[in-house]
Structure 1
Amino acid sequence: MTELDIPSHDGATLETAPTRYVESRTIRFAYRRLGPATGTPLVLLQHFSGNIDAWDPAVVNSLAADRPVIAFDNAGVGRSSGQTPDNVAAMARDAVEFINALGLAEVDLLGFSLGGCVAQQIAAEHGGLVRKLILVATAPRGGEEHLLAVLQDAFSQADVPDPRLPLFFTKSSNSRASGLAFLKRTRVRSDDRDTDNGKAVTDPQAKALITWCATPDPDHEILRAIHQPALVVSGSHDTMLPADNAYAMFKQLRNAQLVLYPDSGHGALFQHHEIFVDHVRTFLDTRSTAA
Structure 2
Amino acid sequence: MTTHTHQTAPTQYVEANGIRFAYRRFGKPGTVPVVFNQHYAGTMDYWDPTVTDGLAQDREVILFNNAGVSSSSGEVPTTFEEMGANAIAFIRALGLTKVDVLGISIGGFVAQEITLQAPDLVRKLILIGTGPRGGEGMGGLTQEAQKIFSTTFDPPEHLWLAVHFGPSEAARTAGKAFLERKHRRQAGRDPEMTEAAGNRQIEAVIKWGERRPDAYDYLKAIQQPTLVVNGNKDVIIYTINSFILQQNLPNAHLILYPDSNHGAPYQYPELFVKQATLFLDA
Confirm or deny that 1:90 pairs with 2:77.
no
Aligned partner of residue 147 in structure 1, secondary structure? coil
Aligned to 1:156: 151
Aligned partner of residue 70 in structure 1, secondary structure? strand
Aligned to 1:60: 52
Q: Using the alignment, how far apart are the partners of 2:188 and 2:8 within structure 1?
A: 9
Unaligned 5+ segments in structure 2 are none
* RMSD of equivalent CA atoms: 1.4
The alpha carbon displacement at 1:41 in A equals 0.6
Aligned match for 1:16, one of 8, 24, 40: 8
Aligned to 2:206: 210
Aligned match for 2:128, one of 136, 147, 152: 136
Residue identity over aligned pairs, in percent, reads 44
Aligned to 2:25: 33
Between the two proteins, the alignment pairs up a number of residues equal to 278
Q: Give the aligned residue type for 1:177.
A: T
User: Does the Cα contact within 8 Å between 2:43 and 2:193 map onto a contact in 1?
Assistant: no
Aligned partner of residue 162 in structure 1, secondary structure? helix
Aligned match for 2:234, one of 224, 232, 238: 238
Q: Using the alignment, how far apart are the partners of 1:258 and 1:148 within structure 2?
A: 22
The alpha carbon displacement at 1:269 in A equals 0.9
User: Does the Cα contact within 8 Å between 2:85 and 2:117 map onto a contact in 1?
Assistant: no
1:184–1:91 Cα change, 3 Å: same
User: Does the Cα contact within 8 Å between 1:150 and 1:167 map onto a contact in 2?
Assistant: no
The alpha carbon displacement at 1:190 in A equals 1.3
User: Does the Cα contact within 8 Å between 1:47 and 1:113 map onto a contact in 2?
Assistant: yes
Aligned to 2:141: 147
User: Does the Cα contact within 8 Å between 1:87 and 1:208 map onto a contact in 2?
Assistant: yes
- Post-superposition Cα deviations, 1:73-112, rounded to whole Å, max 9, x if no partner, equal 0001011000001111000000001001101001000010
Question: TM-score, normalised on structure 1?
Answer: 0.92
Aligned pairs for 1:100-249 (under 5 A) are: 100-144=92-136, 145=138, 147=141, 149-154=143-148, 155-156=150-151, 158-159=153-154, 161-216=157-212, 218=214, 220-249=216-245
1:150–1:201 Cα change, 3 Å: farther
The alpha carbon displacement at 1:221 in A equals 3.0
- Post-superposition Cα deviations, 1:35-81, rounded to whole Å, max 9, x if no partner, equal 01111010000001111000111100110011000000000101100
The alpha carbon displacement at 1:122 in A equals 1.4
Q: Give the aligned residue type for 1:176.
A: R
Q: Using the alignment, how far apart are the partners of 1:246 and 1:25 within structure 2?
A: 32
Aligned match for 1:279, one of 271, 275, 279: 275
Question: TM-score, normalised on structure 2?
Answer: 0.95
The alpha carbon displacement at 1:148 in A equals 5.6
Q: Using the alignment, how far apart are the partners of 2:66 and 2:14 within structure 1?
A: 12
Q: Report the more deviating stretch, 157-166 or 183-192.
A: 157-166
Q: Using the alignment, how far apart are the partners of 2:141 and 2:17 within structure 1?
A: 33
Confirm or deny that 1:268 pairs with 2:264.
yes
Aligned partner of residue 205 in structure 2, secondary structure? helix
Aligned match for 2:73, one of 76, 81, 101: 81
